[in-house]
Amino acid sequence: TAPAAEAQPRPILQLVGVRKTFGRFAAVESIDLDVREGEFLTIVGPSGSGKTTLLRMLAGMDTPSEGYITLRGELINDMPANRRPTCLVFQSLALFPHKSVGENITFPLKVKGVSAAARKARALELMKVVRLPPDYFDKNVMKCSGGERQRVALARAFAYDPQVLFFDEPLSALDYKLKKALEKELKDLHRETGKTFIYITHSLEEAMVMSDRIGVMRAGRLVQVGTPEEIYGAPVDRFVSEFVGEVNTIKVKRDGEEWRGVDVDGRFTLRPPADGAALGEAFVVVRPEYMRFLKEGDTADNRLTGTVYNEYSLGSRIQYQIRVGEKVMLVELSRARALPPGSDPVVTIGWDAADAFTLAG
């Protein structure tokens, strides 16, 4: 609706029909995107989907073959990286290995001609922001741990005082625990600094934890942009639904007023598709955590009977694989609600129409 659209602040970055070709191959295909001031936007997609190519154009390391990129309304297609008020944080960090933490962080200020005393003062402020102790100022950066170096790189990025920060898989080389900790810190940092963050990753989990909005790329196209909840709960197609998590997908066909399973026996109640399309064939998609085991007398809009043939521990959760005819359905429960040992492997599983979504067949 128009009033809500008008309430949106002007985008800090705007992409219109952005395309990048290498010879005949289009690595990025007609992207339209408004990046909001101060948002944390993550671009996810499988390997080769064009994330890096898109980021390189935004950061000024590459020029679009077609289309426009504007920053606060100014066309920046051909503006070189070093003239843009943006900064890129890499996976490889690109720190100066023989220099101290302080020298690394203050490099951008030195280039600008800021005095040594002012540089140090600013570095100490930034070190506080990224939670590095002040006595690290003189420490050789190679003597820092992976996570500490990550913070040094971030502090240096902030020293440029950029309007937009780009992150190219900055956490992918780190171990799981550190990565989880830094995800939370990056999110806090984003909130505290109010800067616009554009982050690329192939890890959906990372995207879900940190982002205000997620853009999903596939084969050079941006197929959906939305909040983590929208991407997870209302994916636009099967590709997005499967990329963002595990799903149970059942093919159904309209039969008068009813929907019948094509690959499993049964009649199903569907939530109408989000776009209201009248479908002859459709896919019912249910996330495993919205499936439940039904006991005698339990009600559910939809149900199937099958045989448990595998269970996996996911730590605090358990996932069951249930064979229903030729299909395998997944049910995920918290450990507290697990099937008791020695239960009958023949089970009835069910879900409510409101907990599933419908995609065009």
Mask for 5-44, x = binds ligand ATP (CB under 6 A): -----------------x----x-----------------
What is the nearest approach in angstroms of ligand ATP to the Cβ of residue 201?
8
Nearest residue to 50 (alpha-carbon basis) of 222, 297, 170, 209? 222
Residues 51 to 90 in contact with ligand ATP, rule: CB under 6 A: 51-53
**C-alpha to C-alpha distance for 180 and 185, rounded to whole angstroms:** 9
Residue among 13, 18, 40, 49 that touches ligand ATP (CB under 6 A): 49
**Would you say 47 or 82 has its CB closer to ligand ATP?**
47
**C-alpha to C-alpha distance for 189 and 257, rounded to whole angstroms:** 53
Stretch that binds ligand ATP, among 45-53, 181-189, 309-317, 336-344 (CB under 6 A): 45-53
Residue among 47, 82, 299, 316 that touches ligand ATP (CB under 6 A): 47
Burial class of residue 177, CB neighbours in 10 A (0-12, 13-18, 19+) = exposed
**Would you say 52 or 248 has its CB closer to ligand ATP?**
52
Mask for 169-208, x = binds ligand ATP (CB under 6 A): ---------------------------------x------
**Would you say 18 or 270 has its CB closer to ligand ATP?**
18
**Would you say 190 or 202 has its CB closer to ligand ATP?**
202
Residue 92 is a binding residue for ligand ATP (CB under 6 A): no
Residue among 19, 21, 48, 205 that touches ligand ATP (CB under 6 A): 48
Residue among 50, 64, 108, 261 that touches ligand ATP (CB under 6 A): 50
Are the C-beta atoms of residues 241 and 231 closer than 8 Å to each other? no
What is the nearest approach in angstroms of ligand ATP to the Cβ of residue 298?
44
- What are the residues binding ligand ATP (CB under 6 A)? 22, 27, 45, 47-53, 202
